[in-house]
């Protein structure tokens, strides 16, 4: 590949990665404000966490809708409309008069943000395949994973001079920027002759076909269940770090953001070694790493160990997510070029739907214990491992 082509690929990965960051920014940027929102609305931690759950539901359900629409109408127009809706929803969140409306608008905001995630990945599959897809996807994640690193620090910085309302106004500005990028920088990658028919029944059949593919479902669950564990971490650590360990919003943002580095390390390890180590080997390694790290988190939580003893295994747990996500995506998408949008949607919806279920459970025992977090991430890591062995490995053995 020439230097000119390399530059073009990197610029494209940068652009698509920016759309991928919309999900992490929408999820993570207001996390340091959780305690403030509880006081503002005179509500409970569980209800504020429910606003995160609503956003995750929107991100999950939205990917099913937007993935299908992008297979029918192309990638560019659905993305344009979604970015406009995102801006409006962000402003509505900023001026919500009560926690109920904030929860509702967070769902709409998540729904609109989903287009950036699923369509950017469908575009990647439109243009690449095989190891080239793995390498490009790792570049996309290099940019996208900056979201978890930058978002909480940015949110904390905004909170240092304004209230949580300023966080959502900043998200609206981010949406305006991405709307402009879609309009002027993004080219259509799905020509008319490759689009799926505009038929609701056919779209359901597409999803049914994907769900009957045992290997695809195995990769989808292995990746999705693992990421659901991260959403438990996202929901629980604002209270664990700040309420249990007394960390300030700034310290919390730095600790939370450091795991963006671990995501980048994990994803780039797979991308750089794609021609030497198989995606299957990386996926299995990531699953085992997550299991060991989650056991360590649970032990520290039970004995109420020091903060650093909790942060270290969480760092490796999140790194395992970077490894498994980067390895599982190209394996699942390889044979789905004819309906990449629908396949990317299913790969995206499972993490958010499961994340929406597990996020409120982190606070089920109150704000003064980290044990539920340890239990949940151990269960998700174990379930992801079982999905891989019972669906992917058994399916491969049957083919052999």
- pLDDT tens by residue, the chain, 400 residues: 455 566 777 778 888 888 888 888 898 888 888 888 888 888 888 788 889 889 988 988 888 888 888 888 888 899 999 999 999 999 999 999 999 999 999 999 999 999 998 898 888 888 887 778 887 877 777 777 677 667 877 888 888 888 889 999 999 999 999 999 888 888 888 887 777 776 667 777 878 888 888 889 999 999 889 888 887 887 788 778 888 888 887 788 788 777 778 888 888 888 788 778 888 899 999 999 999 999 999 999 999 889 999 999 999 999 998 899 888 888 888 766 667 778 888 887 787 778 778 777 776 656 677 888 889 999 999 999 999 999 987 766 555 4
Question: Are 298 and 371 in contact, with CB atoms under 8 Å apart?
Answer: yes
Please tell me the class of the 16-184+202-399 domain: mainly alpha
Question: Are 71 and 196 in contact, with CB atoms under 8 Å apart?
Answer: yes
Distances 40 to 33, 44, 45, 305, 383 between C-alpha atoms, Å: 10, 11, 12, 32, 38
Q: What is the DSSP letter of 44?
A: -
d(CA 212, CA 346): 13
Q: What is the DSSP letter of 197?
A: P
Contacting residues for 311 by C-beta, under 8 A, at least 6 apart: 255, 258
Q: Which of 137, 67, 114, 16 is nearest to 346 (CA)?
A: 67
Q: What is the pLDDT of residue 400?
A: 47
Residue 297's SS3 state is helix
- Tell how far CA 376 is from the center of its chain: 17
Q: What is the pLDDT of residue 179?
A: 93
DSSP codes joined into one string, 367-400:
SS--HHHHHHHHHHHHHHHHHIIIIIIHHHHHH-
Distances 280 to 151, 184, 225, 283, 318 between C-alpha atoms, Å: 31, 38, 17, 5, 19
Contacting residues for 216 by C-beta, under 8 A, at least 6 apart: 210, 332, 335, 336, 343, 346
d(CA 370, CA 384): 22
Other Cβ atoms within 10 Å of 382 Cβ, number: 17
Give me the half-sphere count of Cα atoms (radius 13 Å) on the Cβ side of residue 156: 20
| Residue 55, Cβ density class (10 Å: 0-12 exposed, 13-18 middle, ≥19 buried) | buried
Provide the residue ranges of all domains of the chain, joining segments of one domain with +. 16-184+202-399
Q: What is the DSSP letter of 245?
A: S
């Amino acid at each position: 590949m020439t230097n000119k082509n390399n530059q073009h690929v990197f610029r494209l990965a940068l652009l698509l990665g920016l759309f991928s960051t919309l999900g992490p920014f929408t999820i993570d940027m207001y996390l340091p404000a959780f305690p403030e929102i509880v006081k503002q609305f005179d509500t409970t931690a569980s209800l504020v966490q429910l606003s995160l759950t609503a956003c995750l539901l929107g991100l999950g359900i939205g990917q099913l809708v937007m993935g299908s629409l992008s297979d029918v109408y192309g990638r560019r127009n659905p993305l344009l409309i979604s970015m406009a809706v995102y801006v409006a929803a962000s402003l509505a969140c900023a001026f919500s008069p009560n926690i109920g409306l904030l929860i509702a608008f967070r769902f709409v905001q998540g729904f609109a943000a989903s287009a950036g995630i699923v369509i950017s990945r469908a575009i990647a599959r439109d243009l690449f395949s095989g190891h080239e897809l793995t390498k490009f996807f790792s570049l996309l994640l290099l940019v996208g994973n900056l979201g978890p690193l930058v978002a909480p620090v940015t949110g904390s910085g905004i909170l240092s001079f304004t209230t949580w309302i300023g966080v959502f106004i900043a998200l609206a500005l981010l949406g305006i920027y991405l709307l402009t990028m879609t309009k002027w920088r993004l080219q259509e990658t799905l020509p008319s002759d490759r689009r799926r028919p505009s038929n609701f029944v056919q779209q359901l059949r597409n999803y049914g076909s994907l769900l009957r593919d045992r290997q695809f479902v195995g990769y989808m669950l292995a990746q999705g269940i693992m990421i659901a564990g991260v959403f438990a971490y996202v929901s629980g650590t604002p209270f664990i770090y700040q309420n249990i360990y007394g960390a300030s919003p700034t310290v919390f943002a730095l600790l939370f953001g450091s795991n963006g580095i671990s995501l980048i390390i994990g994803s780039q390890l797979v991308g750089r070694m794609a021609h030497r180590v198989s995606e299957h080997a990386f996926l299995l390694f990531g699953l085992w790493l997550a299991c060991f790290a989650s056991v360590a988190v649970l032990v520290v939580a039970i004995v109420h160990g020091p903060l650093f003893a909790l942060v270290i295994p969480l760092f490796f747990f999140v790194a395992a997510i970077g490894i498994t996500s980067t390895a599982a995506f190209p394996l699942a998408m390889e044979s789905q070029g004819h309906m990449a949008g629908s396949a990317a949607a299913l790969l995206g919806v499972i993490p958010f739907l499961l994340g929406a279920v597990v996020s409120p459970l982190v606070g089920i025992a109150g704000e003064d214990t980290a044990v539920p977090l340890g239990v949940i991430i151990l269960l998700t890591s174990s379930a992801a491992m079982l999905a891989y062995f019972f669906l992917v490995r058994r399916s491969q053995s049957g083919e052999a």
